[in-house]
A and B are shown apart, each in its own frame.
Chain A
Amino acid sequence: MDHILIAVALVLVAAGATVAVATRDPARQSLVLAVLGVLLAVLFTVLQAPDVALSQLAVGSALTPLLLLLTVRKVRRRGQREGDDE
């Protein structure tokens, strides 16, 4: 039973990580990354590492998306300004 659960979690993490790499647009990628964080937290939990899972949840669910999207916003704004100046 436990082994099935671990296998399911591992497969989901592998699939999620592949999708995160294959997604090109940073905004969409950060969405995939948020889901990947949840998947990793589940994997850590079924491997009986709740401390690591809690770290992953704390960082991955709100903080990482916020940092990524703020960066995307800054880069896009700069791109727009340069477009206006030309």
Chain B
Amino acid sequence: MSPRTRAWLVAVGGSGLAALLVAACFGLPEFGGDSHPYGDRAVEASLAHRTANTIASVNFDQRAFDTLGELTILFAAVLGCVVLLRQTRDEHRARPRPAEVDPPVRRYALLVLPVALLTGLYVVAHGQLSPGGGFQGGVVAATALHLLYLGADYRALERVRPVGLYEVGDAVAVSAYLVTGVAALLGGAAFLANTLLPHGTFNTLSSGGTVPLLNAAVGMEVACAVVVLLARFLDQAVEIEEESGT
């Protein structure tokens, strides 16, 4: 096929797609309209299980199986990174020189670290009530740990961060999600159905049935995954050097 024919083919296909998309746009409901068939049903289902944050109910109750898929994607992606960024035979570790950090930055990092960890846990724990949840809280908590790298140096971070434990934690959290799903199955309901726990009182911490449990599992998984991922990146950027010469 000559480039000219190919360009023609792309033009014809592209304009056809564009025409279809424009036609579809005219068929959409008006922007900001008040007809939300899916939204109304989701809110109803979320209120039936006394979950104040409908998004959390959609993610961890109505479509908890979807979230299991997302969890697996993150797990597999981090596993892939760990394999790709491992220390190979022609690389060696060099102790980095200790970093010179401005004392106010050091104080700020040490002061904000616990605050950020607490905020991460708060976001995970309130996932069923307010915006947030396992993913957001987990990332905040994992970022908080890396304030040690910013406030001191990589060796200080390494001392409080046994990567092996975080790898185990990552796997345990994914299994916890699966076990919660299987437990519902053993109880006679569908996989990951929200039947395991009482639904509790609306708008309190202990509401939503298994939503807080699944949120906690996701929070732990994400926090551990981010720590492991950043550990590999930091190793490569700071410590691991290729052998010079042949």
Q: Which residue of A lies closest to B232 (CB)?
A: A70
B49 at the interface (CB under 8 A from A): no
Q: Which A50-78 residues have C-beta < 8 A from chain B?
A: 50-51, 53-55, 57-59, 62-63, 66-67, 70-71, 73-74, 77-78
Tell me whether B230 and A54 are in contact (CB under 8 A): no
- What 0/1 readout, one digit per residue, does chain A (15-56) give for beta carbons within 8 Å of chain B? 000000000000000000000000000000000001101110
Tell me whether B233 and A70 are in contact (CB under 8 A): yes
Tell me whether A59 and B55 are in contact (CB under 8 A): no
Q: Point out the residues of chain A lying under 8 angstroms from B133, CB to CB.
A: 51
**Most chain B Cβ neighbours within 10 Å, of A51, A53, A62:** A51
Q: Point out the residues of chain A lying under 8 angstroms from B241, CB to CB.
A: 77, 81
Q: Which residue of B lies closest to A61 (CB)?
A: B143
Question: Could you say which interface size class chain A belongs to?
Answer: 20 to 34
Chain B interfacial residues counted at CB < 8 A? 27
B146 at the interface (CB under 8 A from A): yes
Tell me whether B237 and A71 are in contact (CB under 8 A): yes
Tell me whether A74 and B237 are in contact (CB under 8 A): yes
Tell me whether B136 and A55 are in contact (CB under 8 A): yes
**How far is A78 from B143 in the complex, measured between Cα atoms in Å?**
27
Q: Which residue of A lies closest to B149 (CB)?
A: A66
**How far is A48 from B107 in the complex, measured between Cα atoms in Å?**
37
B226 at the interface (CB under 8 A from A): yes
- What 0/1 readout, one digit per residue, does chain B (124-156) give for beta carbons within 8 Å of chain A? 000000011101100110110010000000000
Q: Which B215-246 residues have C-beta < 8 A from chain A?
A: 226, 229-230, 233-234, 236-238, 241-242, 244-245
Task: Identify B55's interface contact among A51, A57, A58, A85, CB under 8 A.
Answer: A51
Query: Closest CB of chain B to A83's CB: distance in Å?
Result: 12
Task: Identify A81's interface contact among B131, B229, B244, CB under 8 A.
Answer: B244
B123 at the interface (CB under 8 A from A): yes
Query: Closest CB of chain B to A10's CB: distance in Å?
Result: 11
**How far is A6 from B55 in the complex, measured between Cα atoms in Å?**
21
B98 at the interface (CB under 8 A from A): no
Tell me whether B136 and A66 are in contact (CB under 8 A): no
**How far is A2 from B31 in the complex, measured between Cα atoms in Å?**
12
Q: Which residue of A lies closest to B131 (CB)?
A: A50
B29 at the interface (CB under 8 A from A): no
**How far is A54 from B139 in the complex, measured between Cα atoms in Å?**
10
Spell out A's residues near B (CB within 8 Å): 2-3, 50-51, 53-55, 57-59, 62-63, 66-67, 70-71, 73-74, 77-78, 81, 84-85
Given contacts A71-B233, A85-B244, 4 further A-B contacts (CB under 8 A): A53-B131, A66-B233, A67-B233, A74-B236
The 9 A-B pairs of least Cβ separation, nearest first, read: A50-B131, A70-B237, A58-B139, A51-B55, A74-B237, A70-B233, A54-B136, A58-B136, A73-B237
